[in-house]
Chain A
C-alpha cells in the first residue's frame, strides 16, 4: 500500500504496448510503467510503487509548501545554536 519513492525519469519508450521509463532513485535505475502518468516527461520526478509511477511530483506545490517548513527549520536551527552557546557559557 504505502512504499512509494520519488525518482527521476531518465527516458521513456514503448515496450509491448506499455509506456515504460527508466527511473533513477539515488543513483540506481529501474524501469517503471508510466501509463498512469501520461503527462510525465524525462526530467520529471514521479512517485513509484511496485514498478509503477502513481503520480508526477508537483514540483511547484512541493516548493511552495516546503519554503514555509524550511524557514521554520532554519529558525529552529538558530535557536538551537543559541541554546547550545548559552549552556556552554554557564
Chain B
C-alpha cells in the first residue's frame, strides 16, 4: 500500500489495464517489457505491421490481429468486416498481395445465432471484396462474462512483390508524409453509438480494404519508404512509431489535415483530438519528396484516395518526435497517447 506522494517511487501496475490495448505508450510498454524480451528474434524486433519471412525462397508476409470492437455493428461496418479488412490492410501496408486468412472466434455464451450469422456473412463479402479466402479457423465458446459478446482473431498470409521493400525504419529527412483521406471517421462513428456518449451523425466507419489503392501507388512509383494504416491511436501513433523507428522527426501541418466537418464537431464537443482517433480505411505513406505531388494525384483517382493530401514532412530535427505546426503558426509536440483518449469536461 502506498499513499500518493511525489517523493515515493511510483506504483507500477501489477495487472493489465484497458490502456494497454489502446495502441499508445502503455501498449508499447507491454511489448517492450513482456513480449519482446521473451519472444525475441530479428523479424519480431522490426515491429512492422506485418512480418516478412522467407519460405523456400519466396518472401511471405504474415500478420495477425484481434478485433474486440463494441458495439459489434456500426455504420459502415461490423466486427466481421473489420476483422477481414484490418488484417488485409496490415499485409498490404508491407507491399504484399494478400491471399489467405484464418479466422478464430471466441464467442460469449448466449450470443444470438442470428448475430453470428450476420457477422460471418459480412466476413464473406469483405473477403470477396479484398480478394482473399478464409482457409482455416477455430471456434471457442466462453461462459457469460468471459468475452464481450464476440472476439475475432484473423491472421493473414500474403506474397511480397519483387523489389518492394517497405519498412518503418526507412523514412529520411526531406521525405513527404501523405494521408489517403479524412481522419477520425471510424473512431467517431463507433463512439456515436456508445452508451453514455450517443449523438446523431451521418459519419460512418471508413473500414475498407486498401489493396487496390496500394496497387495503384506501387505501380506509380518505387520511391515509397513505408506505409502504415493509422488504426488505434490514430495518425499520431503511426507517425510517432515511424519517427522512432527511423530516428527522424516528423512535422505535420494542421491546416493540411483532412477532417470531415462532423468529425471535427464531435471532437470539439467531446474534447478529442482527431490525430488520436482511430481509422480503418486509411493509410499514411512516407515517400520521396519529388514524387509526392504526383502520387497524391494518382491516389485521388482511386475511390479510397479521393481526399489524399500531403500532411507533413520528415525532418532531421527532433529525432523521434512528431510536431504539429498549428493553424496559428505556432509549433507543438504531438505526443504518443498513453492510454485511451477520454472525452473530457474540462
Contacts and interface: CB of A to CB of B under 8 A. Distances in A.
Find out whether A and B make contact in their complex, taking CB atoms under 8 A apart as touching: yes
Interface of A: 1-3, 5, 7, 22, 24-30, 48-50
In the complex, which of the residues B198, B202, B265, B271 has the most CB atoms of chain A within 10 Å of its own CB atom?
B265
B346 A28 contact: no
Contacts of A48: 269
A24 B201 CA distance: 10
A29 B346 contact: no
Interface of B: 192, 198-203, 260-262, 264-266, 268-269, 271, 344-346
Contacts of B271: 3
B200 to A, nearest CB: 4
A39 B262 CA distance: 27
B345 A27 contact: no
B346 A26 contact: no
A25 B268 contact: yes
Nearest to A50: B345
B345 A28 contact: no
B344 A28 contact: no
Given A5-B269, A25-B269, A30 B200 contact: yes
Nearest to B192: A28
A50 B345 CA distance: 7
A30 to B, nearest CB: 4
A25 B345 contact: no
Contact of B199 (A1, A28, A50): A28
B262 to A, nearest CB: 4
A4 to B, nearest CB: 9
What are the 8 closest A-B residue pairs judged by CB atoms, nearest first? A26-B265, A27-B262, A30-B199, A29-B200, A25-B265, A28-B265, A28-B201, A27-B261
Nearest to A49: B345
8 contacts: A3-B345, A3-B346, A7-B269, A25-B265, A25-B268, A27-B260, A27-B262, A28-B265
A27 B346 contact: no
B269 A27 contact: no
A56 to B, nearest CB: 18
Given A1-B345, A2-B346, A3-B271, A29 B199 contact: yes
A47 B201 CA distance: 20
Contact of B269 (A1, A2, A22, A30): A30
Contacts of A27: 201-202, 260-262, 265
Contacts of B266: 25-26, 28
Nearest to B203: A28
Contacts of A1: 345-346
A49 B262 CA distance: 18
A26 B264 contact: yes
Nearest to B266: A28
B344 A3 contact: yes
A29 B268 contact: no
Contacts of B261: 26-27
A3 B345 CA distance: 5
Nearest to A26: B265
Contacts of A25: 265-266, 268-269
A1 B344 CA distance: 10
A3 B267 CA distance: 11
